[in-house]
C-alpha cells in the first residue's frame, strides 16, 4: 500500500499521541525524558522526600523519646547531656510496672470495654447512617441536621446531667455509664458512613426489591459487605477514642480493680514520692503499642475508607 508524502510521519505522530493518552494525559518533554502532567522532576522528588522525612522525624520524636526513657534508670534520665541510647538498657522496667500496679487488670478492662463499645457504636451508627442514606422519609434532612448539631454541644454541658441520671440508677463505679450511651451511636460516625452509603448505586435497591427483599436484606446482603473499608475506618476511630478515654472512667469509676489503662496511668505516680519517669514511660509504651499495631495492620482500609467517604455524597 502506498502512503502519500509525509503519511508515515503523520502516522508516527498519531501513534505517539495515542500512547501518551493511554499512559495518562499528555506530557511535557524535557530533553529525552517526558514528564507527564502532575509528575515530579528528580529535584522536586528529592525536596519532597526531605520534607517528608523531616516531618516524620518531628512526629516520631515523642515516641522515640518514650522508648529511650523507658529503657533508662531514673538517674540516667536527669543526666546532662542526654543520651538517646542507654549503655545498659533496663528491660526490667517493663516487669517492674506489673509488680508495682495491676496493669494486667487495667489491660483486660480496657480491652473488653473498648471492643464492646466499638462493636455497639459502629453497628448502631451504620444502621442509622443506612436509614439516612437509603430510606425515603419526610423530614429526613432535618433529622440528619439535628444529629449533626449534637457534635457542637460541649461534653461539659451534659456531663453533670448524665452523672445525676446514672447516680439515680445506681450505676456508678461500673461500666454501664460508659457502655450504655454507645447504644445511641456516634454523630460523626453516622455522618461518615452516610457519605459512603450515598455513593453506592441505588440500582442495587431496585434489584433487591425485584427479588422480593426488604431493607434488612439490602443492608445485610448488599450494603454491609460493600462498606467494609468505611466500617473499618469507623471502628479504628472509635477504638482510638475509647482506648485513650480518661474523662469518662475518671468520673464514673472509683474502684482500682475497675480502672482502664488511661485511668491507671493517671494514678500510676500516686504510690511514689516523685514521678518515676522511666516506669511511667514503660507503662505508657505498653499502652501505646496496641493502637499502633492496629493502625499499621489496617491502615490500607483506613485510608481507603476516609478517601471514599470524603468523596461521596
User: What letter would DSSP give residue 28?
Assistant: E
The CA distance from 53 to 45, in Å, is 12
- CA dihedral (249, 253, 258, 263) positive or negative: positive
192 found inside a domain: yes
* pLDDT value of position 40: 74
Q: What is the CATH number of the domain that holds 200?
A: 1.10.3720.10
DSSP lists the bridge partners of residue 35 as 28
Cell numbers found for residue 82: 542526654
144 found inside a domain: yes
* pLDDT value of position 164: 95
* pLDDT value of position 38: 56
Using CA atoms, how far residue 253 sits from 35, 109, 240, in Å, is 61, 12, 20
Rg of the chain in Å (alpha carbons): 28
* pLDDT value of position 166: 95
Residues 263/78, Cβ–Cβ less than 8 Å: no
Cell numbers found for residue 283: 507503662
User: What letter would DSSP give residue 83?
Assistant: -
Using CA atoms, how far residue 88 sits from 46, 81, 282, in Å, is 38, 17, 15
In a structure prediction context, what are the per-residue pLDDT tens digits for the chain, which is 313 residues long? 444 444 444 434 444 444 444 444 444 444 455 555 457 788 888 898 999 999 999 988 988 989 999 998 888 887 778 788 888 888 888 998 898 888 899 999 999 999 999 999 999 999 999 999 988 888 889 999 999 999 998 888 999 999 999 999 999 999 999 999 999 999 999 999 998 898 888 888 888 888 888 888 999 999 998 888 889 889 999 999 999 999 999 999 999 899 999 998 888 876 666 778 888 899 999 999 888 888 888 777 777 666 665 555 4
Using CA atoms, how far residue 154 sits from 56, 151, 157, in Å, is 32, 8, 6
Which range of residues forms the domain containing residue 292?
A: 102-311
Domain count, the chain: 1
The CA distance from 44 to 64, in Å, is 29
24 found inside a domain: no
Q: How far is CA 181 from the centre of its chain?
A: 21
273 found inside a domain: yes
Residues 241/234, Cβ–Cβ less than 8 Å: no
pTM: 0.77
244 found inside a domain: yes
136 found inside a domain: yes
63 found inside a domain: no
User: What letter would DSSP give residue 185?
Assistant: -
Omega of the bond leading into 179 within 30 degrees of 0 (cis): no
Residues 64/246, Cβ–Cβ less than 8 Å: no
Amino acid at each position: 500500500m502506498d502512503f502519500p508524502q509525509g503519511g508515515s510521519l503523520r502516522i508516527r505522530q498519531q501513534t505517539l499521541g495515542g500512547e501518551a493518552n493511554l499512559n495518562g494525559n499528555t506530557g511535557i518533554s524535557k530533553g529525552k525524558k517526558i514528564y507527564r502532567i502532575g509528575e515530579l522532576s528528580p529535584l522536586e522528588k528529592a525536596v519532597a522526600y526531605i520534607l517528608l522525612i523531616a516531618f516524620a522525624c518531628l512526629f516520631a520524636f515523642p515516641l522515640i523519646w518514650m522508648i529511650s526513657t523507658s529503657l533508662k534508670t531514673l538517674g540516667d534520665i536527669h543526666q546532662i547531656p542526654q543520651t538517646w541510647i542507654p549503655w545498659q538498657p533496663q528491660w526490667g522496667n517493663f516487669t517492674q510496672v506489673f509488680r508495682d500496679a495491676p496493669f494486667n487488670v487495667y489491660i483486660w478492662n480496657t480491652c473488653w470495654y473498648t471492643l464492646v463499645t466499638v462493636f455497639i457504636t459502629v453497628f448502631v451508627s451504620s444502621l442509622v447512617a443506612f436509614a439516612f442514606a437509603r430510606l425515603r422519609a419526610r423530614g429526613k434532612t432535618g433529622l440528619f441536621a439535628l444529629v449533626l448539631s449534637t457534635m457542637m454541644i460541649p461534653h461539659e454541658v451534659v456531663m453533670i446531667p448524665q452523672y445525676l441520671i446514672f447516680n439515680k440508677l445506681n450505676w456508678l463505679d461500673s461500666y454501664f455509664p460508659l457502655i450504655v450511651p454507645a447504644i445511641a451511636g456516634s454523630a460523626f460516625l453516622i455522618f461518615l458512613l452516610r457519605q459512603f452509603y450515598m455513593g453506592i448505586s441505588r440500582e442495587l435497591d431496585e434489584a433487591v426489591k425485584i427479588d422480593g427483599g426488604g431493607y434488612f436484606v439490602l443492608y445485610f446482603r448488599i450494603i454491609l459487605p460493600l462498606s467494609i473499608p468505611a466500617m473499618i475506618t469507623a471502628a479504628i476511630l472509635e477504638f482510638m477514642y475509647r482506648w485513650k478515654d480518661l474523662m469518662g472512667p475518671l468520673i464514673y469509676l472509683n474502684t482500682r480493680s475497675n480502672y482502664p489503662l488511661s485511668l491507671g496511668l493517671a494514678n500510676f505516680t500516686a504510690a511514689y514520692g516523685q514521678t518515676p519517669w522511666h516506669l511511667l514511660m514503660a507503662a505508657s509504651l505498653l499502652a501505646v503499642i496496641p493502637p499502633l499495631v492496629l493502625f499499621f495492620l489496617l491502615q490500607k482500609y483506613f485510608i481507603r475508607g476516609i478517601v471514599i467517604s470524603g468523596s461521596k455524597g
